[in-house]
Amino acid sequence: MIGTLARKSGTRTAYALVITLGVALTAGGAYAVRVKSDLTPTANGAGAKGRASLSLRNGARGQFRITAKHVQGGKSYDLVVGGVKVGALSTSTRGNGRAAFSTSPSGKKSLLGFDPRGQTLLVRDAQSGEDVLVGDVPDDSPDAGACCLADGSGEGEVECEDLSAADCTAAGGTPQTGLSSCLPDPCGGTSSDGITAVCCINTTHDDGTETDCEDWSAAACAAAGGTMVQASSCDGNPCQPAAPVDRVACCVAQGDENECEVMSTAACTAVGGTANAAATCDPNPCPVVPSGDTSACCVAAANPGDPAECEDLSAADCATAGGSAPADGSTVCDPNPCL
C-alpha cells in the first residue's frame, strides 16, 4: 500500500517524498510493520541523498535504520528525531554513512527507545549545526495506542502492542491512556541487558524549547512522553543536538491544517514550509488554513462597541451575515485581521 499517512500529535508534521508502507501478519499472529521514507536534501546538503526505514515485529520490538549518501565526508552528524538527539552518524571519506537502532541493541546497533513515526527527522552537522537532510517517517496506524497484555507464554510476561483501546480491552489487555506508541516500552516487557539509557524530554520555555535529560526507567519515560536514548549518563546532556545555525517555527500546510515544527530555515525551505519569526511552536504561530471555499470575514460584534469578529465563511455567507472581507486582504482569522 502506498500513501502519506501521518501521526498528527502536537505540532508534528509529515512531508516525506517517497513512502512505502507494508503490513503483514507473522506466524506468531503479530503484525510486522515496514515503513520507508526518502529524506530531502537542504541547501546545505545539495546533492545528498538519504533514507529512513522502520521495521517492527510488534509494537515494542523492531529496528530503525538511517542511511546518508553524498554528504560531506569524514564528519559526524547528529540524528535528531522530534527535536531529540537519538544518535550519531559518521561518514566515510566518500560521504556515505549509516546508523542502526534496535530494541535489542548489540554491536553497531544502538537502542531504539523512541518511535520515529510521525516525527521530523534531521541529519545535522554536529559541528556547524547545519541541517543537510530532512524528512518524516509516516505513521502506519494513526488510530492505535499502547496496550499492555500477556504475551501468551503463560509465565506472566507482559508485552506492548499497538492496538486501539477497544481492541486492547477485547484482548484482555490494559490500554495505556494518553500513549500512542510502545516505544519507549510502557509495559516493561523489553529489556536491554548491559545497555544504559537515559530519558530525554522536550521542555518549552519562554525563549524556545530545550531537551532535558533524566535518569528514568523506560516505563517512567513513556509516561512522561519522553524518549529513551542510549547513553552512560546525563552528563553533558546527550539528548541535546548541536544548536542549529538558525531556529525558526516552520509552518507547513497539511490538507486543511497548517502545522508547526521548529527547525532551521534551510530545512523549512526544503520541505516547502514558511518560516515564521517565532522561535517556538507553543503557542502555535502558524495561521489557520480556511477550509473549502471559505475565507476570513469581518462581522460586527453582537454587543455595540465590541471589536468586530472574524469568521471563516464563504463569500455568500459573509454577505448574508452583513460582513465584509478584511481591509488588509487577509484570508485567515489568526491573528484577527478585523480589529
pLDDT mean over 169-188: 91
**pLDDT value at position 311?**
86
Cα–Cα distance, 255 to 181 (Å, whole number): 24
| Euclidean distance between the first and the last CA atom of the chain, given in angstroms as a whole number | 48
Mean of pLDDT values over 56-69: 92
Answer yes or no: is pLDDT of 290 > 80: no
3-state secondary structure of 316: helix
Asked whether residue 316 carries a pLDDT value surpassing 80, the answer given is no
Would you say residue 68 has pLDDT above 90?
Answer: yes
306 contact partners, CB below 8 Å, separation of at least 6: none
* Cα gap 113→100, rounded to integer Å: 12
Residue 154 in this model has a pLDDT that exceeds 70: no
- Name the least confident of 74-78, 127-131, 201-205: 201-205
Q: Pick from 73-77, 80-84, 262-266, 315-319 the range whose average pLDDT is largest.
A: 73-77
DSSP letters, 114-162, are: S--BT-EEEEEETTT--EEEEEEBPPS-TT-EEEEEE-SSSS--EEEEE
pLDDT at 234: 95
Residue 235's pLDDT band (boundaries 50, 70, 90)? very high
Measured distance CA(242)–CA(200) in Å, rounded: 15
Residue 40's pLDDT band (cuts 50, 70, 90)? very high
The yes-or-no verdict on residue 4 having pLDDT over 80 is no
Give buried/exposed letters for 168-187 (b at 16+ CB in 10 A, else e).
Answer: beeeebebbeebbbbbbbbb
Measured distance CA(209)–CA(221) in Å, rounded: 18
Give 85-101 pLDDT, tens digit per residue.
999 999 999 999 999 99
Mean pLDDT (the chain) is 82
Q: What is the pTM of this model?
A: 0.73
Domain boundaries, the chain: 290-339
pLDDT exceeds cutoff 90 at 323: no
Mean pLDDT of 159-183: 91
Provide DSSP, 244-256: PSS-EEEEEEETT
Parallel, antiparallel, or unpaired: how do β-strands 109-111 and 97-102 relate?
parallel
**Whole-number pLDDT of residue 88:** 96
Provide the grid cell at 64: 530503525
Would you state the pLDDT for residue 111? 94
Query: Alpha helix (H) ranges present in the chain?
Result: 165-170, 218-223, 265-270, 315-320
